[in-house]
Amino acid sequence: MKTCNMILTLAFVFAVAVSCGKKAETDSKEVAEEQNEEKFDEKSDEKTAEFVVNAADAGMLEVQLGQLAASNGTSPQVKQFGQMMVDDHAKVNDELKSTAISKNITVPSALSEKSQKVYDDLAAKKGEEFDKEYIDQMVKDHKDAIDLFEKQAKDGKDSVFATWAQGKIPSLQHHLEIAETTQKNLKEKSK
């Protein structure tokens, strides 16, 4: 019995020692960024990969928050907007991923720690508070996405991704308009 306990203790100590020696790579976005940095020598290729990783993370967040809104939203407008995010962004995410794969760019497979925190914070909200926080987040996220995509369309050195980004801007602007209208309606309703 003492020998068995001693072996288990030594195994545990060894496992802890080994795991302390390695940095855990849990943030899928960071892992993708590091893999892309290793693949590409040209700064322009790294910038394109950075755009892809950021767009993929943002797109995954939109889909997951949309699913949350479709199920947890109380306002019909919020539920409908959430479902639209799921439908529209899932298609865009698939396009982005397949184009990235064809260009040998690694995309994150899960939300970044920052995006996961946004999701977790919203998932903790209920009722009208959820609706307000969700739609506020959608306004912010779509403004950020438009900036990201406009920069890629204007300055991107990879013509495939520059053209792709340019083609997505009208849809992002449409989403922003709907989000802002919903935001305004929710504010008027709460008065």
Query: pLDDT tens digits, residue range 31-51?
Result: 666 765 665 556 557 889 999
Sign of CA dihedral 53, 156, 84, 123: positive
A 10 A CB-CB count for 47 gives 18
pLDDT at 45: 73
Angle at Cα 116 formed by Cα 115 and Cα 121, nearest 5°?
100
Annotate the chain with three-state secondary structure. CHHHHHHHHHHHHHHHHHHHCCCCCCCHHHHHHHHHHHHCCCHHHHHHHHHHHHHHHHHHHHHHHHHHHHHHCCCHHHHHHHHHHHHHHHHHHHHHHHHHHHCCCCCCCCCCHHHHHHHHHHHCCCHHHHHHHHHHHHHHHHHHHHHHHHHHHHHCCCHHHHHHHHHHHHHHHHHHHHHHHHHHHHHHHCC
pLDDT at 4 over 80: no
Query: pLDDT tens digits, residue range 123-172?
Result: 999 999 999 999 999 999 999 999 999 999 999 999 999 999 999 999 99
Q: What domains does the chain contain, in order, with CATH numbers?
A: 27-189 (1.20.1260.10)
Measured between alpha carbons, how far is residue 82 from residues 131, 159, 170, 178 in Å? 10, 31, 18, 11
Q: How far apart are CA 191 and CA 188, in angstroms?
A: 5
In 3D space, the residue among 87, 84, 81, 63 whose CA is nearest the CA of residue 185 turns out to be: 81
pTM metric for this prediction: 0.79
pLDDT at 159: 94
pLDDT at 21 over 80: no
End-to-end CA distance of the chain: 70
Length of the chain: 191
Residue matched to tokens 């919903």: 182
